[in-house]
């Protein structure tokens, strides 16, 4: 009897985990970065400012450095550019720019 109870609990736990992961797979991700085609479409639809404008906003706030990586990511219902910068002293920083208006959103 104790063996059957343990076996039942293991099966029930496995079913619960698989049901939870199946529900999570159906939900769209709240934080996901866009592909190149999606980025172009967002800029063309005026949902996001051009990348060059976002970089100028970062430099205007005194954040100098080489842009190592630039991503356009969805954070909930908002789009942000996430820029990775390499400063002259070798420090790597990440800065977020609100893609809707081109204003600095802060560090992420």
DSSP secondary structure, 4-35, as one string: HHHHHHHHHHHHHHHHHHHHHHHSPPSEEE--
Q: Is the pLDDT higher at 18 or at 57? A: 57
Kindly state the average pLDDT of the residues 6-15: 52
List the domains of the chain with CATH numbers: 30-107 (3.10.450)
Output the pTM of the full model: 0.68
pLDDT, mean over the chain: 81
Report the pLDDT value the prediction gives residue 105, as an integer from 0 to 100. 87
């Amino acid at each position: 009897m104790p063996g059957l109870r343990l076996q039942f609990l293991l099966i029930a736990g496995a079913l619960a985990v698989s049901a939870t992961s199946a529900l999570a797979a159906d939900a769209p991700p709240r934080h996901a970065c866009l592909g190149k085609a999606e980025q172009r479409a967002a800029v063309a639809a005026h949902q996001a400012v051009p990348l060059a404008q976002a970089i100028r906003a970062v430099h205007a706030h005194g954040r100098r450095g080489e842009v190592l990586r630039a991503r356009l990511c969805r954070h909930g219902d908002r789009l942000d550019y996430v820029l990775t910068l390499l400063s002259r002293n070798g420090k790597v920083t990440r800065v977020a720019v609100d893609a809707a208006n081109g204003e600095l959103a802060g560090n992420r």
